[in-house]
Amino acid sequence: MQKAPATCRSFLARLPFLERVIHVRWSGQGVWMPLGDMKFDVPFENATSYPSPGEIILYPGGVSETEILLAYGRVNFASMAGQLAGNHFLTITEGHDRLALVGQKVLWEGAQTIAFEQA
């Protein structure tokens, strides 16, 4: 929360957050939630183009549509408009050994439901 406070507050206000993830098109080993023109009203903070496996980033819109991306492997965050940077606001700290299985499932079986809830 310290490095992306506005993004964390905005996302927490939307919990529970239920979406579907699809495999990224241009970015590498990640899954994403295309959110169209959904407004999070946050600045760029703690932004990266290279999230590590387990890191979740929010692109608040601008050059491309609003989206959330979960890296399960190597990612160079981009869209058809080119390189992007998203706000790293959440990190999966356990189960990294299963992240690639999630990515492969989405790649080969299509969109999957994902839910974020406050514990």
Q: What is the pLDDT of residues 10-68, one digit of tens each?
A: 999 999 999 999 999 999 999 999 999 999 999 999 999 999 999 999 999 999 999 99
Q: How far is CA 97 from CA 4, 46, 92, in A?
A: 26, 25, 11
pTM for the predicted model, two decimal places:
0.95
pLDDT, mean of residues 95-117: 97
Report the top-level CATH class of 5-116: mainly beta
Asked if residue 75 has pLDDT above 90, the reply is: yes
